[in-house]
C-alpha cells in the first residue's frame, strides 16, 4: 500500500470516528475533557459538476474525473462560491470502494481565495451504488460517504482555516455532491 493511500485511509478512519452519530456520547469526566474529540459545523459545500470524463480501467482501478463547474458554500464564519476549474478525481477499487480526491478553489463573498483539497471514501450496498451511478437521488444514510477536507489561504481573515482539520459527510446528487463539513475542535 503506497503512503498516500495509507494516509487517505487513516484520515477516513478519523472522519468515521468524528462523524459517527449512532454511538451514544457519554459526559466526559474531567480527566479526559482535553482529549475527547468534538466538532462544530464549518460549511455546507454544494458542487456543480460538468459531464464526467471516463478514463477507464487503469492499474489502480477504474478512473473517472468530474470537472467542477461551480457551486456555493455557506457557514457561520464564511460563505461564497466555488470557482470553475477544479476537479473531483475518483478511482473505483477492485473491492467496490470509490476513492475521492477533490481539489477546488473557493471565493468568499468578500473576495478571499481559499484552496481546498479533500480525500475520502464512498461505498455501500451494490444496489445503492448502482442507483448513484445512474444519477438517482439516494438517501445518504444508505451508503458511506466521508472525506477529510483541508484548507489553505493567504487571507488574514480566514487564516484560521490553515490551522484546522475537518471531516465531512457527503450526499451525492445528479448535479454534484453536497458536503456537510465539520471542524474538529
The per-residue pLDDT for 22 is 41
The per-residue pLDDT for 24 is 45
The per-residue pLDDT for 33 is 65
**Residue pLDDT, tens place only, 104-134:** 999 999 999 999 999 999 999 999 999 998 8
Tell me the chain's radius of gyration from C-alpha atoms: 17
Q: Which residues of the chain have pLDDT under 50?
A: 17, 20-26
Yes or no: say if 28 and 36 are a contact pair by the CB < 8 Å rule. yes
Q: Is 104 exposed, middle or buried (0-12, 13-18, 19+ CB in 10 A)?
A: buried
Strand, helix or coil at 115? strand
User: CA-CA distance, 44 to 152, in Å (whole number)?
Assistant: 17
Domain residue limits, the chain: 1-14+38-56+68-91+151-185
The per-residue pLDDT for 23 is 43
pTM recorded for the entire structure: 0.80
Yes or no: say if 121 and 12 are a contact pair by the CB < 8 Å rule. yes
The per-residue pLDDT for 85 is 95
3-state secondary structure 118-167: EEEEEECCHHHHHHHHCCCCCCHHHCEEEEEEEEECCCHHHHHHHHCEEE
Class of domain 1-14+38-56+68-91+151-185: mainly beta
The per-residue pLDDT for 26 is 46
Yes or no: say if 15 and 168 are a contact pair by the CB < 8 Å rule. yes
Q: Which three cell numbers stand for residue 130?
A: 448502482
Amino acid at each position: 500500500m503506497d503512503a498516500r493511500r495509507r494516509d487517505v485511509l487513516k484520515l477516513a478512519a478519523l472522519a468515521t470516528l468524528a462523524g459517527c452519530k449512532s454511538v451514544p456520547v457519554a459526559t466526559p469526566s474531567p480527566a479526559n475533557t482535553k482529549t475527547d474529540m468534538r466538532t462544530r459545523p464549518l460549511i455546507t459545500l454544494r458542487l456543480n459538476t460538468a459531464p464526467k470524463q471516463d478514463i477507464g480501467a487503469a492499474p489502480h482501478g477504474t478512473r473517472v474525473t468530474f470537472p467542477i463547474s461551480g457551486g456555493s458554500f455557506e457557514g457561520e464564519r464564511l460563505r461564497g462560491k466555488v470557482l470553475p476549474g477544479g476537479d473531483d478525481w475518483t478511482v473505483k477499487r477492485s473491492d467496490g470502494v470509490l476513492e475521492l480526491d477533490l481539489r477546488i478553489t473557493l471565493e468568499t463573498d468578500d473576495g478571499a481565495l481559499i484552496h481546498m483539497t479533500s480525500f475520502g471514501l464512498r461505498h455501500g450496498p451494490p444496489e445503492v451504488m448502482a442507483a448513484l451511478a445512474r444519477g438517482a437521488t439516494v438517501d445518504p444514510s444508505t451508503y458511506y460517504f466521508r472525506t477529510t477536507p483541508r484548507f489553505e489561504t493567504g487571507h488574514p481573515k480566514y487564516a484560521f482555516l490553515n490551522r484546522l482539520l475537518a471531516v465531512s459527510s457527503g450526499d451525492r446528487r445528479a448535479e454534484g455532491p453536497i458536503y456537510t463539513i465539520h471542524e474538529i475542535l
